[in-house]
Chains A and B, each alone.
Chain A
Amino acid sequence: MVKKIFFQFIFFNFFLIREVFAAESGGMPQLNPEFWISQIFWLVLTFGILYVVLSRLILPKISANLELRKSQIQENIEAAEKQRESSDAKLKEYDDIIRKSKLEAKNIFRDAGEKVIKDINSKKEFLDKQIDGEIKKAEQEIEVLRKNAPEKISKIAIETSAQLVRKLIGAEINNSSISAIVNDLTKKNGNKYHGN
């Protein structure tokens, strides 16, 4: 450690040595006019060269670079703007197509619905007609049956009565008197069986 500090000391002394010598003179070196002319001369020379080179060669280049970049950015922005516009137009077109096809689909749907309803209605009508016809036929049959039923019943009743009488009393009674009695009875009770 001590050795290191010692070497550092020597190192610093090496640099400071001329300052140590100069320190003896004292005062502000700035006010010593010995090198004023030299300083002015070198200042004018170096600053003059710096100014000329900067203003003639370097600064115009930097300025041009900046301008170029600015214009390029401007161009890019314009191109982006144009592309945005075209994409907007495309989007509109696309929206139009979608709207149109939606309308079309709606129409088709509505047409199909109407057709189906019409079909159903016509079929229903047809079926109704058929059913009506069958009902009428059945009613007619029923009507016929109903009309015929009392006659048959009275016939059966006359025959049955004649046979009953024959079996029971062995007497032969002519049919006309029996039928008169049966008709009389049926008229009396007929309403019981044929309500309406």
Chain B
Amino acid sequence: MAANPMTQFEVYRIGPEIKIGAFDISFTNASLFMVISSLAILIIFNLGSKKNSILPNKLQLLAELSFSFVSKMISDTAGSKAKPYFSFIFSLFMFVLFCNMFGMIPYTFTVTSHIIVTFVLAAFIFIGVTIVGFIKHGFGYLKLFVPSGVPAVLLPLIVVIEIISYLSRPISLSVRLFANMMAGHTMMKVFGGFVVSLGIVGGWLPLSFSVALTGLEILVAFLQAYVFAILTCIYLNDALNLHH
């Protein structure tokens, strides 16, 4: 009965097969949870911004606190120049956060536990940041790879290292989120399987572990969304304010 802990990450088609040309774009469980997360964000923030009272109600407070939280995060890490990208980073943070959080509900699907989803997000951020950097600084953006105050002998090595680290940004960004989500959910599944297999006598220990893990995973879900957003801010900061 103890199912493979990886089966929770299976993607399966919901409804008919949809094809555009050679591409299969069928509606899957992953798509369903992307839609649910986006809709939840839109509904919550729409309700939270509908009425403007001096003393906010709960939803308004939630919306405004999230707004100022992300706003502060951006201004702390990327400065005031990053203001035009606020909407994008806010959407990104909320999307990742809600996908992570919906994944914590039993029998749901965690969108962000798929490398392809996180990689597309990270690649989009990487390409976008690089374009922003080249638009702002022209070819001067390449100075990012040449840190100041480095002895000339070490310079070729440093430049190579900088370029590799820059190019690995989308990979590290996407794998961090994906691996955290996958590992956490797999672990929870394994402990859940222990509860079932050990039964009413021995199942209490893995059950208590499972409960503790749930709390930890909720923390991780928030933390990874935060890390994802803040790293985006840091990359954007590099592109906007060339520091090196």
A, B: real partners: yes
User: Quick check: is B34 within 8 A (CB to CB) of the other chain?
Assistant: yes
Contact A22 B41 (CB under 8 A): no
Per the CB 8 Å criterion, the residue count for chain B at the interface is 57
Footprint of B on A, CB under 8 Å?
Answer: 5, 12-13, 15-16, 18-20, 22-23, 26-32, 34-44, 46-47, 49-51, 53-55, 57-59, 61-66, 68-69, 72
Known: A28-B6, A54-B87. A49 touches B38 (CB 8 A): yes
The contact sample of 28 A-B pairs, CB cut-off 8 A, is: A16-B1, A18-B10, A19-B4, A20-B1, A20-B3, A27-B6, A29-B7, A29-B10, A35-B13, A35-B24, A36-B116, A39-B120, A40-B120, A42-B27, A42-B28, A43-B34, A46-B35, A47-B91, A50-B38, A50-B41, A50-B42, A50-B91, A54-B45, A54-B91, A59-B45, A62-B67, A65-B49, A66-B68
Contact B26 A35 (CB under 8 A): yes
Min Cβ gap B20→A in Å is 8
Complex Cα gap A18–B42 (Å): 32
Known: A23-B7, A55-B88, A59-B87. A35 touches B28 (CB 8 A): yes
CB < 8 Å neighbour of B30 from A12, A42, A63: A42
Contacts of B87 in A (CB 8 A): 51, 54-55, 59
B residues 132-180 with Cβ under 8 Å of A? Answer: 178
User: Quick check: is B105 within 8 A (CB to CB) of the other chain?
Assistant: no
Min Cβ gap B241→A in Å is 23
Q: Mark B51-72, 1 if CB is under 8 A from A, else 0.
A: 0101000001001100110000
